[in-house]
Structure 1
Amino acid sequence: MPLYKSISVNTQTTVKIWKIEESYDDLIAPLDLKSNSLERVLGMKSELHQCGFLSVRHLLREFGYTDQDLFYDDNGKPHLKDGKQISITHSFTFSGVIISNYKVGIDIEKQRDKIAVIAKKFVDYEFNYLKFDAEDYIRKLTVIWGVKESLYKLFATPGMLFREHFLVIPFTFETSETVCWIDYNDRKHRYNSHYLEFDGFTCAYVIEE
């Protein structure tokens, strides 16, 4: 299907989400990929990953960009040639792109029980308000992971750890937004974060304003 969801966060920031239902052949046919992008997608062993990569290029087209406008720095952070800020994500059958005048990060995650097994690896402060036996425990863990992954993408700085350097303020699903912090190298940074759920997935994104 075409574009699944478009969110105008503010006048400077837009999120677009794609639901991947097309075949690899249908996704790649209309695209004009750079040689290194084509080499990259052809080298992927999983068709799921190939389709995720290609669907991101379709999202770029929805914004008016092409694969030629996108490049990556040495830390793997994506950039646009016109200087706009961009972050990219894909998970199973969904992909997402956020573009803004501000620094941004985005993540989509499938809601899965196994996230509880690794919770101690990325949760510290947040255990103060999480309830293990709560009905929404997995959903909240997924939001926390998504927000922290978005922060990591925004900073793209080697050495940052989810558990030690990122924290997410208590939140509810009624508001769909919260505040998060990076505490790293004696510097504290405050960010606004947003999240939404659809089809068993969670999308979180962070904006530096």
Structure 2
Amino acid sequence: MPLYKTLTPNSQTTVKIWKITESYQDLMQPLDLKQQSLERVLSMKSELHQRGFLSVRHLLRDFGYTDQDLFYDDNGKPHLKDGKHISITHSFTFSGVIVSDTEVGIDIEKQRDKIAIIAKKFVNYEFNYLSESDTDYIKRLTVIWGIKESLYKLFATPGMLFKEHFLVIPFMLEDKETVAWIDYQNKKHRYNTHFLEFEGFTCAFVTT
């Protein structure tokens, strides 16, 4: 069972990260999927996506849940039947799940140079402390994207834009945490954020 990392940023919150090394068959075998989930995974054209989907269900099992405990609302946000808050992510060979008593969001991204090409689409305020000449420019951009993606998952409100409604307070990679804000419809919401790097990937998650 390749549970890669377990993190507890506070007493109410746990993060589990899975390194996907198993085959599709090995991941599928021990799971009891509800019909809707089975149809969804069978319809996926990429085995990488199938394995990501199934590895999330293994993480649920590690939390003590089953696929039957998970459901999604009309905005695609996942929920647990016991009322705890959950967020889910998977990227290439890693997946992650965060469970908390309060609202949370999580994202895992592969660190890739091409993020610099789209930076202007999701970065605004953050250019005040970022420079393309920084040696860690790509990694910090990836952190910002991951934090904003996590905020989007947490808030799950159509119409929100990464560039206009989310901002990330200045940070250095060694900080491993910072603060982020959602400024939307004349209301401001403050969130604690955490981030870490491993094997060329960045994981970011936000808590209230």
Equivalent position amino acid for 2:71 in 1: F
TM-aligned CA deviation for residue 155 of structure 1: 0.3
Q: Distance in 2 between matches of 1:202 and 1:32?
A: 30
- What TM-score results when the alignment is normalised by the length of structure 2? 0.99
Equivalent position amino acid for 2:50 in 1: Q
TM-aligned CA deviation for residue 185 of structure 1: 0.2
Residue 72 (1) aligns with residue 72 (2): yes
TM-aligned CA deviation for residue 88 of structure 1: 0.1
> Where does residue 101 of structure 1 map in the other structure?
101
> Where does residue 45 of structure 1 map in the other structure?
45
> Where does residue 4 of structure 2 map in the other structure?
4
Equivalent position amino acid for 1:147 in 2: I
Larger mean CA deviation between 99-108 and 168-177 belongs to: 168-177
Alignment of 1:55-70 (within 5 A): 55-70=55-70
Secondary structure, counterpart of 1:158 in structure 2: coil
Alignment of 1:1-209 (within 5 A): 1-208=1-208
User: What are the superposed Cα offsets for residues 140-159 of structure 1, whole Å, 9 maximum, x if unpaired?
Assistant: 00000000000000000000
Q: Distance in 2 between matches of 1:173 and 1:77?
A: 29
TM-aligned CA deviation for residue 2 of structure 1: 1.8
Q: Distance in 1 between matches of 2:28 and 2:2?
A: 14
TM-aligned CA deviation for residue 11 of structure 1: 1.1
Q: Distance in 2 between matches of 1:178 and 1:8?
A: 16
Q: Which runs of 4+ in 1 moved over 6 A?
A: none
Q: Distance in 2 between matches of 1:53 and 1:23?
A: 12
Alignment RMSD: 0.5
Q: Distance in 1 between matches of 2:134 and 2:12?
A: 37
TM-aligned CA deviation for residue 20 of structure 1: 0.3
Secondary structure, counterpart of 2:175 in structure 1: coil
TM-aligned CA deviation for residue 91 of structure 1: 0.2
Percent identity between matched residues is 79
Secondary structure, counterpart of 1:178 in structure 2: strand
Equivalent position amino acid for 1:190 in 2: R
User: What are the superposed Cα offsets for residues 5-58 of structure 1, whole Å, 9 maximum, x if unpaired?
Assistant: 000111110000000000000000000000000000000000000000000000
TM-aligned CA deviation for residue 184 of structure 1: 0.2
TM-aligned CA deviation for residue 173 of structure 1: 1.6
TM-aligned CA deviation for residue 93 of structure 1: 0.3
Q: Distance in 1 between matches of 2:133 and 2:28?
A: 45
User: What are the superposed Cα offsets for residues 86-128 of structure 1, whole Å, 9 maximum, x if unpaired?
Assistant: 0000000000000000100000000000000000000000001
Secondary structure, counterpart of 1:174 in structure 2: helix
Count of residues paired in the alignment: 208
